[in-house]
Amino acid sequence: MIYDIIIIGAGPAGLMASIFSKGKVLLLDGNQNLGRKLLTTGAGQCNFTHAGDINEFLTKYGKNGRFLKAALYNFNNKDTVDFFLENDIESIENENGKIFPKSLKSTDILDVLIGKCKENNISIKSDRKVKEINIKEIDADDFNQTRNLFYVKTNKECFTAKKIIVATGGKSFDQTGSDGSMFSILEELGISVESLYPSLTPIYVKNYKLAHLSGIAFKNAIVNLYRDNKKIESNIGDILLTHKNISGPGILDFSRYVRNNDLLKINFIGVNENVFRNELKVNIDSGKDKTVKSVVRQLDLPNRFIDQILEESNISSELNCSSLKKSQFSEFVEKVCNYNMTVECLGNFNIAMATTGGVKLSSVNKKTMESKEIKNIYFAGEVLDIDGDTGGYNIQAAFSTGRLAGINASK
């Protein structure tokens, strides 16, 4: 049998692509059970999108957000909520804008997607790991204007299609099936692929001194990233210290830019350094009979963290403000506003929630999701060089690009 479309990968992108595809459609997945990664999202509660204006959505994918404009405008977060509501799944929004099924069960979301595929008579074959894709050119006049036939070889059998949609994800959580093996297959075909790095992952730093402060969090901290003595990125977000690394949304969302040996300068107070310096000096000068510790503990920072910075600044707990040296004062301000951390490594793909890198966006038509390099190959989801912030943005991108790929591959 020659299928009109073969869709490779039954995650959120592949399932949505299947739902909106027409003709003889085959959905392949390497796992025995479909949607394994989807089931893990939101700790099993499935944070499947995020609230907010769609224009704000475009800012949540780093520098590559503009690529998603057509996909997100054609199927936005409200459309996603409505899609599931039409299929009897109500949603709820938490205080951070994350949207979940009201049941808080990821299985409900997956059941709808699989059910819609079956309604559309999509052929589904699981436990079919794709090993190879070959292309045979066909005379267009002899084969309904189609220039290529795709031969998809799996661990069990081969399938043939006029078009394919690749929705195999990135390289994170390989135990769920997104092990990155598809990228070498695509490169052999001549598809351009950007290097892969973990994203939405904690950052490990060299000579980490804050392990004993595990559990302390900072609201709206400022993180500046330096490479080769040049500032290249900046971010504002919540940071969490753990016993092994630094984490929290402000770090996870920023990790897409970070590489080994980069320098992070963290402003824990989240206030302009000069403003902080001047306000602290006033407090120190007006509290000459008080200890420095008692004055700085009035800052909007955790006391245990303050004590650590005092120690690193060589300021004893008994030192009076009147005896504080300028060098000690400057050192304290510097460590609160520009705490240096050298990156040892990112959390690996086993703990990263997403992947930076993938199919090069300049090689894909963003209005159709079709490859510019090989006609009739389409891409959807995280196999593309797109990774969103934590909070449902990646699944929304998967839904939106999957739908767009399915519609256009069916034309």
Chain segment 349-397, per-residue pLDDT in tens: 999 999 999 999 999 999 999 999 999 999 999 999 999 999 999 999 9
When pLDDT is averaged across residues 119-142 and rounded to a whole number, the result is 88
216, pLDDT greater than 90: yes
pLDDT at site 138: 73
**Tokens 């240096």 label which residue?**
340
41 confidence band (pLDDT: 50, 70, 90): confident
When pLDDT is averaged across residues 148-168 and rounded to a whole number, the result is 96
In this predicted model, which residue has the larger pLDDT, 168 or 41? 168
142, pLDDT greater than 80: no
40 confidence band (pLDDT: 50, 70, 90): confident
Distance CA 267, CA 219 (A): 11
Task: Give the distance, in angstroms, between the CA of residue 137 and the centroid of all CA atoms in the same chain.
Answer: 37
Distance CA 338, CA 138 (A): 62
Provide the CB-side half-sphere exposure for 126 (13 A, CA). Answer: 11
Distance CA 80, CA 395 (A): 10
Q: Of all residues in the chain, what percent carry a pLDDT higher than 70? A: 98
Q: Of all residues in the chain, what percent carry a pLDDT higher than 90? A: 91
Distance CA 183, CA 404 (A): 21
Measured in residues, the chain has a length of 411
280, pLDDT greater than 70: yes
pLDDT at site 141: 57
Distance CA 194, CA 216 (A): 36
The answer, as to whether pTM is greater than 0.85, is yes
**Tokens 């989240």 label which residue?**
270
Write out pLDDT tens, residues 68-109.
999 999 999 999 999 999 999 999 999 999 999 999 999 999
Mean pLDDT check: name the lowest of 60-64, 140-144, 225-229, 287-291.
140-144
Q: What share of the chain is helix, strand, coil (3-state, %, to 5)?
A: 35, 25, 35
When pLDDT is averaged across residues 269-282 and rounded to a whole number, the result is 96
176, pLDDT greater than 90: no
pLDDT at site 37: 84
348, pLDDT greater than 80: yes
φ, ψ at 266 (rounded to 5°): -110, 130
Strand, coil or helix: 346: strand
When pLDDT is averaged across residues 187-194 and rounded to a whole number, the result is 97
Contact 166, 183 (CB under 8 A): no
Amino acid letter for position 218: F
* Burial readout 249-259 (b: 16 or more C-beta within 10 A, e: otherwise): bbbbbbbbbbe
When pLDDT is averaged across residues 117-142 and rounded to a whole number, the result is 89
**21 DSSP 8-state letter:** -
Provide the CB-side half-sphere exposure for 56 (13 A, CA). Answer: 6
When pLDDT is averaged across residues 164-188 and rounded to a whole number, the result is 91
147, pLDDT greater than 80: no
DSSP states of 221-256 as a string? Answer: EEEEEEETTEEEEEEEEEEEE-SSSEESHHHHTTGG
Distance CA 116, CA 323 (A): 73
243, pLDDT greater than 60: yes
240, pLDDT greater than 70: yes
287 confidence band (pLDDT: 50, 70, 90): confident
Write the CA distances from 101 to 45, 92, 105, 117, integer angstroms.
7, 6, 7, 20
Write out pLDDT tens, residues 308-346.
999 999 999 999 999 999 999 999 999 999 999 999 999
Distance CA 373, CA 379 (A): 12
Contact 103, 41 (CB under 8 A): no
Provide the CB-side half-sphere exposure for 237 (13 A, CA). Answer: 20
- Find residue 107's DSSP bridge partners: none
pLDDT at site 139: 67
What number of other Cβ atoms are within 10 A of residue 111's Cβ? 14
Which tokens hold the place of 255? Answer: 């990790």
pLDDT at site 140: 57
Write out pLDDT tens, residues 44-68.
899 999 999 999 999 999 999 999 9
pLDDT at site 217: 97
- Quick one: how many helices (H) and strands (E) in the chain? 13, 18
pLDDT at site 301: 96
When pLDDT is averaged across residues 27-43 and rounded to a whole number, the result is 90
Distance CA 320, CA 354 (A): 49
CATH numbers and ranges of domains, the chain? 2-198+351-409 (3.50.50.60), 202-347 (no CATH)
Distance CA 37, CA 12 (A): 9
Which tokens hold the place of 56? Answer: 């704000």
Strands 49-50 and 98-101, bridge-based pairing: antiparallel
Which residue from 406, 403, 404, 394 is spatially nearest to 65, judged by alpha carbons? 394
